Amino acid sequence: MAKIKEAQDRIFKNIFVCKKCQTKVRSDPQKILKGKVKCRKCKKNAFRPLKKK
């Protein structure tokens, strides 16, 4: 099955997962690294990138 770049970007680009409650957040990677983004659910700012299957 061919991988379409636009679909891969839509699914995985700029999406991060909260390390505490596993909530998905779409944000700029630079804001994540600077700690400016907080989780909507638990208010923490520890995120990891979304894993590709």
Minimal CA–CA distance to 36: which of 52, 16, 11?
A: 16
pLDDT per position as a tens digit, 4-45: 999 888 889 999 999 999 999 999 999 999 999 999 999 999
Q: Residue 37 and residue 44: Cα distance in Å, rounded?
A: 9
pTM: 0.82
Token reading at 43: 């208010």
Predicted local confidence at residue 10, as pLDDT: 87
Domain range list for the chain: 5-49
Q: Which of 5, 13, 1, 12 is nearest to 53 (CA)?
A: 12
